[in-house]
């Protein structure tokens, strides 16, 4: 639910009693940029009656619940595709129990892409799954000379405790490769130096980290790309 506008009350989600009390459950959602013509605080969710349960969602202004975040989703287009640097990538959950019921993430996103992508990682938030590379493609890529700056998917993935990070530079660039946790905190600085053109390979050791989802970010000149990595101990 994004960038909607209403005349009154709320542009996002309104839980309102008409005949019966509603109790919606939101999982792996993005509610952002909704507003009204009314003055005052622009809340994304308003509960007038009943209740709402929110888990593993990105809610502007924040919302209480396990796994919820409050960050700009960084949409790449009007179809709400996530940009490479969006922290909504990999911030979802496969399955979750709420009360006595289990809720599962659908196998495909709104555009029909497999969810999650790649397999073995956590699903993204929102309607569109950010399409990342597959580890099985890396041996073929290695045989080619780099024509563009590329951060390949780490392999193996999931990993325990080490994994290989490989990228290609079309020209000499000052390059940084860093690893962040799901909260956006830097947990490792793999490289920060001017590197020559060509393919570069580094080993990342996650033995000092807890199991979970991490982001590997490559920045080289004006280029940046993010891959999600799953550490399983």
Output the pLDDT for position 95.
86
At 137, is the pLDDT very low, low, confident or very high (cuts 50, 70, 90)?
A: very low
At 113, is the pLDDT very low, low, confident or very high (cuts 50, 70, 90)?
A: confident
Mean pLDDT is highest, among 35-44, 94-103, 172-181, for: 172-181
User: For all residues of the chain together, what is the average pLDDT?
Assistant: 84
Output the pLDDT for position 203.
95
At 78, is the pLDDT very low, low, confident or very high (cuts 50, 70, 90)?
A: confident
Residue 44: φ, ψ to 5°:
-85, -30
Q: What would the mean pLDDT of 168-177 be, rounded to a whole number?
A: 92
Output the pLDDT for position 12.
83
At 27, is the pLDDT very low, low, confident or very high (cuts 50, 70, 90)?
A: very high
At 41, is the pLDDT very low, low, confident or very high (cuts 50, 70, 90)?
A: low
Rounded CA-CA distance 198/94 in Å is 37
- pLDDT at 10 exceeding the cut of 80: no
How far from 197 is each of 152, 167, 169, 194, 206, CA to CA, in Å?
A: 16, 11, 5, 10, 27
118: its two tokens? 């790649």
- pLDDT at 139 exceeding the cut of 60: no
Rounded CA-CA distance 132/89 in Å is 10
Quick check: pTM over 0.75? no
Output the pLDDT for position 146.
46
At 134, is the pLDDT very low, low, confident or very high (cuts 50, 70, 90)?
A: very low
Rounded CA-CA distance 81/134 in Å is 19
Give the residue extent of every domain in the chain.
1-132, 135-231
Rounded CA-CA distance 187/231 in Å is 13
Q: Which CATH class is domain 135-231?
A: mainly beta
């Amino acid at each position: 639910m994004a960038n909607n506008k209403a005349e009154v009350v709320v542009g996002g989600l309104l839980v309102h009693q008409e005949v019966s009390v509603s109790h919606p459950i939101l999982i792996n959602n993005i509610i952002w940029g909704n507003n009204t013509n009314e003055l005052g605080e622009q809340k994304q969710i308003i509960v007038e009656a009943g209740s709402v349960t929110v888990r593993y969602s990105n809610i502007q202004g924040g919302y209480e619940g396990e796994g919820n975040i409050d960050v700009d989703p960084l949409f790449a287009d009007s179809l709400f595709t996530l940009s490479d640097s969006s922290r909504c990538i990999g911030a979802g959950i496969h399955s979750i129990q709420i009360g006595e019921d289990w809720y599962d993430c659908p196998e495909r996103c709104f555009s029909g892409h497999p969810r999650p992508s790649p397999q073995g990682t956590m699903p993204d938030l929102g309607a569109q799954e950010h399409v990342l590379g597959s580890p099985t493609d890396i041996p073929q890529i290695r045989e080619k000379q780099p024509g563009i700056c590329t951060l390949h998917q780490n392999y193996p993935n999931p990993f325990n405790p080490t994994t290989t990070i490989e990228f290609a530079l079309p020209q000499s660039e000052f390059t940084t490769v860093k690893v962040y946790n799901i909260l956006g905190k830097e947990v490792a600085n793999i490289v920060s130096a001017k590197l020559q053109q060509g393919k570069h390979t580094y080993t990342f050791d996650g033995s000092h980290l807890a199991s979970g989802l991490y982001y590997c970010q490559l920045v080289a000149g004006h280029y940046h790309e993010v891959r999600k990595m799953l550490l399983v101990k």
